[in-house]
Amino acid sequence: MSCCIIIYVRFWLWHAFVLLLLTTNFAFAQSIIKNLPAFDGDLPFKLETGYVGVGDSEELQLFYYFVESERSPEYDPLLIWMTGGPRCSSFYGLIYEIGPISFKFTNLTTDPLTLVLNPNSWNKVANIIFLDSLAGTGYSYSTTSHGLISSDTLHSTRVYEFLQKWLTTHRKFLANPLYIAGDSYSGKIVPIIAQKIVNGIEAGIELHLNLKGYIVGNPASDAKQDVNSRIVYAHQLGLISDRIYQSANRNCKADFVDVDPNNQLCLNSLQAIDECIGRIDMEHILAPLCLASINQNRNSILAMNWESNDDSFLEFSFPMVQMCREDKIQYSVLWQNDINVRKALNIREGTKGQWAKCNKTTPYTFDIPSNIEYHRNLSQKSLRAIIYSGDHDMSVPYISTLAWIESMNFTIEEDWRPWFSNDQVAGYTLYYSNKEYHLTYATIKGGGHTAPEYNPKECFDMISRWLAHTPL
């Protein structure tokens, strides 16, 4: 009888061991990618893709792209980048903003879809993780329906867990300076993640993350302030007249968010504002507005925008007289939905249907309306931060970001001045401090909501100097 018990126990111990191996491999799957469809030849940089399991049972499988620094990967900073949305893939940041490759925008009716090198990639000076930070976004997925539910709080908690686990399997980067980075709505999440890391460091957790600071671009920060500032910004740019602006201020009492539905005078003023700017691209006021945005009435100045879905419409045809932003997004949709691309990236079969830039169907609760207190808390630590704003963005206008920064009453170490790229004014900058905390603020002249997309050289010069601890 005892012999049978021993055999039985050994059998289940063996199966438990095999299951552990499978689970471990499942949770930390990594692949080195040598070639990509639409790119000619071998990749001249190191690209890794993979999944990291997070959650109580690792039911969330978060997908990432990792590119090593082309300079000194063993010493250069490690950035984790998240694209805004929320619920948008960080492939956008990789391919349109700061990554080593980008699409060649040509007429696809006559020319093949082509990937080319980006001469202004941030991986020339840093190692970068591009994370699809929510299950259901990009190639990240959940093995349970409950895992698809998220919020600002859950989002930041899961990214923190991802970082701990990723660095457990990439220990050679543990000593590298770590920066949390993102733009748009991810600018809301970045300081929350940074705060969680600080809390972990102070609690003495076993895996020490070498956090040095954070990077945010055109960041959503305070929902009400960001939206209210759009009216002020539109007036400053001459998009609405003094009379319309003063009327709206008076009738709405300068509150354009919590509007009384019975206040007809305020509603009339807001309607007049929308008529003036409804056909202007919110994310870059000089860019052409896509017909889909016009037809779907997506461009109201008072819409929060975090619920819009840039690639939910596929009305895009060639040839185009002038390419708009949504047209460019379709290049990534076409590329990512090619079966050869999924094979090249080692995407797990059956885990993803149609790839989209954003997936706004997954449940998300906006439970942190303002992150300004997180910035305030972080300003008590020995950290560095850079906050940059494309000055032609009306979605999160620079005046909103600058207003809450000024409200912190930091010491101004260097007042407003121009900074330069190629001997041209690239924007304007301020340098603040609060004991051991140092904050650089920079505008990108002519930049939109995703500034590196519009001004790649200027943004590369900016981040290169900042990471090197040199003045802009």
Q: Give the start-to-end residue ranges of the domains of the chain.
A: 224-324
pLDDT, position 289: 84
Confidence of residue 169 (pLDDT cuts 50, 70, 90): very high
Residue recorded with tokens 């111990």? 13
Confidence of residue 134 (pLDDT cuts 50, 70, 90): very high
Residue 340 has pLDDT above 90, yes or no: yes
Please write the tens of the pLDDT for every residue from 268-318. 999 999 999 999 999 999 998 876 554 554 456 666 545 443 433 223 333
The CA distance from 99 to 122, in Å, is 6
* List 170, 269, 449, 461, catalytic entry: 449
| pLDDT-above-90 percentage for the chain | 81
For range 2-18, the mean pLDDT? 38
* List 226, 311, 393, 461, catalytic entry: 393
184 is catalytic: yes
The CA distance from 252 to 261, in Å, is 11
382 is catalytic: no
Query: What's the 3-state SS for the chain?
Result: CHHHHHHHHHHHHHHHHHHHHHHHHHHCCEEEECCCCCCCCCCCCCEEEEEEEECCCCCEEEEEEEECCCCCCCCCCEEEEECCCCCECCHHHHHHHHCCEEECCCCCCCCCCCEEECCCCHHHCCEEEEECCCCCCCCCEECCCHHHCEEHHHHHHHHHHHHHHHHHHCHHHCCCCEEEEEECCHHHHHHHHHHHHHHHHHCCCCCCCCEEEEEEECCCCEHHHHHHHHHHHHHHCCCCCHHHHHHHHHHHCCCCCCCCCCCHHHHHHHHHHHHHHCCCCCCCCCCCCCHHHHHCCCCCCCCCCCCCCCCCCCCCCCCCCCCCHHHHHHHHHHHHCCHHHHHHCCCCCCCCCCCCCECCCCCEECCCCECHHHHHHHCCCCCEEEEEEECCCCCCCHHHHHHHHHCCCCEEEEEEEEEEECCEEEEEEEEEEECCEEEEEEEECCCCCCHHHHCHHHHHHHHHHHHCCCCC
pLDDT, position 28: 63
pLDDT, position 206: 73
Confidence of residue 322 (pLDDT cuts 50, 70, 90): low
For range 384-401, the mean pLDDT? 98
For range 117-143, the mean pLDDT? 98
Confidence of residue 328 (pLDDT cuts 50, 70, 90): confident
pLDDT, position 321: 42
* List 102, 156, 184, 293, catalytic entry: 184
Return the higher-pLDDT residue of 374 and 22: 374
Confidence of residue 2 (pLDDT cuts 50, 70, 90): very low
pLDDT, position 85: 85
Contact by Cβ (8 Å): 345, 368: no
379 is catalytic: no
pLDDT, position 110: 81
pLDDT, position 19: 36
Please write the tens of the pLDDT for every residue from 59-112. 999 999 999 999 999 999 999 999 998 999 999 999 999 999 999 988 777 888
Please write the tens of the pLDDT for every residue from 232-259. 999 999 999 999 999 999 999 999 999 9
Please write the tens of the pLDDT for every residue from 27-69. 567 899 999 999 999 999 999 999 999 999 999 999 999 999 9
